A and B are shown apart, each in its own frame.
Chain A
Amino acid sequence: MKNNDLKGWLYLLPAIIFLGVFLVYPLIDVFIYSFEEGYNFASGTYSGVGGFNFAYVLRDPYFLQALKNTLILVVITVPASTALALLISVGLSSIKALKNLFQTVYFLPYVTNTLAVGLVFMILFKQTPYTNGFVNIVLGFFGVAPIDFIGGPYWAKMLVLCLYTIWVVIPFKIIVLTGAIASVNPIYYNAAKVDGTSRWRVFTKITLPMISPTVFYLIITGFIGAFKAYSDAVALFGTDLNASEMNTIVGYIYDMLYGNSGGYPSFASAAAVILFVIVLTITCINLLVSKKHVHY
């Protein structure tokens, strides 16, 4: 028994070491930094301990802008991408011909590099001296004046960022959802068919409850992923996100650490802790809500 115990710990050791060094220790460290005022990496010194970092960050207009951007992104993209993925998955599950082709096509964005996708969006949306961008050309047919999506009004930039995010996260959701839908025992559909159940009712009363654990998983990971958004904004608007009003919380943390205004690890840590608290709260709410609507 004792011997077995030892062996078990031995097997766990690699994971424990890696997680400890690269995850647990930095987590604790960030938490400590967030309360140390004016910490300096080079000298390892700080001027005092207290909540000043949080007070500063919460009053920083750049942070508030980033917070607003992130919340808008989360509120729009998570429901939209999940609903769209659900729609596409149900569609994919009910066709026979060309199913594999479409599955591959829908999965392509997932295996495409974020910056490459950014390039595609540039072609679609960016105005240059030579062209207004593909979307503006199409809109022009309907008599809409050209809009500067990348450097123009806030709502236009936010729209592009949301579209971009949805487009990037949808493939993974589709793959997971088609898998979940395929694993629903077809006998339930036969039973529903004999009883003359409409397609909509089959979807809401049978398919959706049966795949609810998967949908819930996607919503939780979707929320967390959207809160951590950063690279998408960079791909579209470049690295100076504060200037373009398109920063996100993670972007703000990065800027505080290394960006143009860089060198403030204490503020970065405080922002990181705030992000952690938000994500934790949202996830807890999700878990509570799911108890009622998820059928295992």
Chain B
Amino acid sequence: MKVTLQNLTKIYPSRSKKESKGVVAVNDFNIEIADGQLVGLLGPSGCGKSTMLNLLSGLQKPTGGKILFDGDDVTNLPPENRGVGLVFQSYALYPHLTVKQNITFPLENRRGKDKLSKDEMNSMALEAAKLVQIESLMDRKPGELSGGQQQRVAIARAIVKKPRILLLDEPLSNLDARLRLQTREEIRRIQRSTGITTVFVTHDQEEAMSISDLIIVMKDGVLQQVGKPQEVYDNPGNLFVAKFLGTPPVNTFDGYVKDGGLYIGEERVLDAAGVEDCDVNVAIRPEGFEINPQSAFTCTVDRVEVMGRDISIVSTHEFSHNPLVRSIIGSENVNDVTEGNVKFDVKKNKTCIFRKDTDERIFF
């Protein structure tokens, strides 16, 4: 199902009377999500991601704007009429019901002509349970399951009613690191096999990038960028997106453009022909460095971290925003790194510059 958001806005009224302005949790969102996509809604905590999800599910009403499902305006529809499946961050499994009863719960709600027979419900529940591989746990209570199993039950309960859209709120946040890797593959698999348009919320960019068809980056309720993960990573629209995506994070520096060259301090790092002179923020991905003793860009080595396949040179630079500059280079270069200074070539396609005054990306 195609999801369209038009000028979607949610403002929470302020509690104190002195502050008349409320909190803008979602600010003028315009997005189109194609049918059958797995979408990662990404942003730091408190940026309005969960509000977004609640707006999509219908648990909250937007202050302004519209939500369209396949072109139908659902903005004022209550959740039960939208056909949404929602997996809560804490799963919200009913503790007094067995796994099977939890999964059939949404089906039992159907009345009138949609009413299902016991057999139909059982077979649908079993189908959903098989999809998430919990068919052997049907008679247990949620309290007797591990976190990962509870997660699967919650997903089964959300998909058993064949929703038009599946929403997952921080689906991996309550799992340990190993299970997280496994579960995110699982979510991808379940989404592929059901073909349900799925939106999941996360603050973990790695999680979002690894499985999403599309990622939506937001900050303080404002849409920052929408795109395929690799596109957004390679071409961040602003400094925030550049910083937010990627592990280890991007290295950022104070720089300026002068006479068709990009400078960090006194060092001319790259050519920037045709760019007018201005102060810029320079973002260089860790993999955007190459050791070259003839180069101009000089860092002071702090330490070298060996990771097997490649090494990470942790160094310092006067104009870096962060105390440390992290560069990742092939491990065959490990002998080129010595105490003291190291000189790098900077790869142009791994470098982005943003105007200091407007945060506007400058292409060069």
Tell me the A residues contacting B by CB distance below 8 Å: 185, 187-188, 190-198, 201, 205-206, 209-210, 212, 295
B79 touches A193 (CB 8 A): yes
Q: Which 7 A-B pairs have the closest CB atoms?
A: A196-B80, A295-B96, A195-B106, A191-B92, A209-B96, A187-B92, A194-B79
Stretch of B17-25, B83-91, B203-211, B240-248 with 4 or more beta carbons under 8 angstroms from chain A: B83-91
**Contact partner of A188 among B78, B86, B92, B110, CB < 8 A?**
B92
B109 touches A198 (CB 8 A): yes
**Contact partner of A194 among B80, B97, B108, CB < 8 A?**
B80
CA distance A222 to B86 in the complex (A): 41
The chain B residue sitting closest to A212, CB to CB, is: B96
A193 touches B80 (CB 8 A): yes
The chain A residue sitting closest to B93, CB to CB, is: A191
Q: What secondary structure prevails in chain A residues at the interface with B?
A: helix
**Contact partner of B86 among A191, A210, A212, A295, CB < 8 A?**
A191
A206 touches B90 (CB 8 A): no
Instruction: Give the tally of cross-chain contacts (CB within 8 A).
Output: 55
Tell me the B residues contacting A by CB distance below 8 Å: 57-59, 78-81, 84-86, 88, 90, 92, 94-97, 105-106, 108-111, 161
For A206, what are the chain B residues with a Cβ–Cβ distance below 8 Å?
A: 94
CA distance A204 to B97 in the complex (A): 12
| A190 and B95 contact, Cβ closer than 8 Å, known pairs A195-B161, A198-B109 | no
CA distance A295 to B98 in the complex (A): 12
| A210 and B96 contact, Cβ closer than 8 Å, known pairs A194-B84, A205-B105 | yes
For A188, what are the chain B residues with a Cβ–Cβ distance below 8 Å?
A: 92, 94
A195 touches B80 (CB 8 A): yes
CA distance A125 to B213 in the complex (A): 75
For B85, what are the chain A residues with a Cβ–Cβ distance below 8 Å?
A: 194
| A196 and B79 contact, Cβ closer than 8 Å, known pairs A191-B86, A205-B105 | yes
For A212, what are the chain B residues with a Cβ–Cβ distance below 8 Å?
A: 96
**Contact partner of B109 among A185, A190, A201, CB < 8 A?**
A201
CA distance A194 to B157 in the complex (A): 11
CA distance A191 to B59 in the complex (A): 9
**Contact partner of A196 among B95, B96, B109, CB < 8 A?**
B109
B57 touches A194 (CB 8 A): yes
